[in-house]
Structure 1
Amino acid sequence: MRKFSSCLGAALLALSFTAGAQVVDVKSAWARASVPGQKATGAFMTLTAPAGATLVGVRSPAAGVAEVHEMKMDGDVMKMRAIPSLALPAGQAVELKPGGYHLMLLDLKAPLAKDSQVPITLVLRDAKGVESQLELKVPVQAVAPAGGMAGHSH
């Protein structure tokens, strides 16, 4: 029953975003659980902008700072850095995942407990330059969800 109600909640949330101008579809969203004393964690999802868009910011009341990050090899060293924006080409799924593009929640105000939800706001700019915000309630998991939660969207 719990799984059904969470799926129903996700479906209702998805409907609320399709009622207006839909800039981006969000699927398979999750955030990594943290432990007391841990000050940072990541959030992951797949973003698809039907008409193209740019992710230009992220916020969360759970963190003092939230940023869009990328991880990439620099010679023999994997480096992570904040990036000012992330292009979402029209109709192409952009995966935010461990070891690649992702959202970083820094200066956590409290641990993110497994099986809770964390509010995250995506700031997007559509192909015409109009900014919008997308409010998400992202499930917190200890590890990546099995099967990628392909049926969930926001």
Structure 2
Amino acid sequence: MAAIGAARRRYLNAAQAGALAFGLANVSAFAGEGQALQVSNAWVPVSDTQGVDVPLLMTIKNQSTEADALLRVSCPAANFSEKHTVDRGEGAPAMRAIKSIPVPAAGEITLKPEAYHVMLLQTRQVLAEGDTFSCSLMFQKAGKLETEVHVIRPR
């Protein structure tokens, strides 16, 4: 569990700005009609280098009366993924790997760098602005959903 340093905080602030720039460009999951979960605004930041770790950010809306949980994420753009939360105890905030990300009943969760998020580890390719790729999201109750992820340059 490593503390988030000054460079990481600057990156997180840039990622937040990128999310705002991405704003209304809503990208829904490839789920069928009547699907309880909807995924929108899935994006990763530009990376000029292969083999790095990048956050995968998105909004997950749950229209069901039952809570769900994001269990696994698989993307061809990365070798691995981890689900994280950020602990804000004494001292600097620190990322911590977790088993699942809770999705509230009849609500939504927005994955952000400073809160719940997914890290794509060891990217397999350069992530250029405007690129897209698909990721598989495995939920405890809703099962597998596919979503399109956009690569954007945080402003």
Which TM-score band applies after superposition, normalised by the shorter structure?
Answer: 0.7 to 0.9
82-91 or 33-42: bigger deviation:
33-42
Q: Are 1:23 and 1:53, in contact at CA under 8 Å, matched by a contact in 2?
A: no
Counterpart AA for 1:45: M
Q: Are 1:112 and 1:118, in contact at CA under 8 Å, matched by a contact in 2?
A: no
Alpha-carbon RMSD across the aligned residues, in angstroms, is 2.1
Work out whether 1:106 is the aligned partner of 2:117.
no
- Tell me the CA shift for residue 55 of structure 1: 0.7
1:84 alignment counterpart: 99
Where do 1:4-153 residues align within 5 Å? 10=27, 17-19=31-33, 22-37=35-50, 39-51=52-64, 52-126=67-141, 132-143=143-154
Counterpart AA for 2:47: S
Q: Are 2:45 and 2:152, in contact at CA under 8 Å, matched by a contact in 1?
A: yes
- Tell me the CA shift for residue 120 of structure 1: 1.3
2:9 alignment counterpart: none
Any stretches of 5+ residues in structure 1 without a counterpart? 1-6, 145-154
Q: CA offsets per residue over residues 12-64 of structure 1, 9 Å max, x none? A: x65x5233x51311122211111225511011111111113111111111111
Count of residues in correspondence between the two structures: 129
- Tell me the CA shift for residue 116 of structure 1: 0.4
Any stretches of 5+ residues in structure 2 without a counterpart? 1-24
Q: Which structure 1 residue ranges, 4+ long, deviate > 6 Å from structure 2?
A: none
| Shift in alpha-carbon separation, 1:63–1:37, aligned structure 2, 3 A | closer
Q: Are 2:42 and 2:56, in contact at CA under 8 Å, matched by a contact in 1?
A: yes
Q: Alignment partner of 2:48: what SS?
A: coil
Q: TM-score, normalization: structure 1?
A: 0.75
| Distance (whole Å) between structure 2 residues aligned to residue 54 and residue 23 of structure 1 | 12
1:148 alignment counterpart: none
Q: Are 1:118 and 1:139, in contact at CA under 8 Å, matched by a contact in 2?
A: yes
- Equivalent pairs: percent with the same residue? 29
Q: Are 1:60 and 1:121, in contact at CA under 8 Å, matched by a contact in 2?
A: yes
| Distance (whole Å) between structure 2 residues aligned to residue 90 and residue 141 of structure 1 | 30
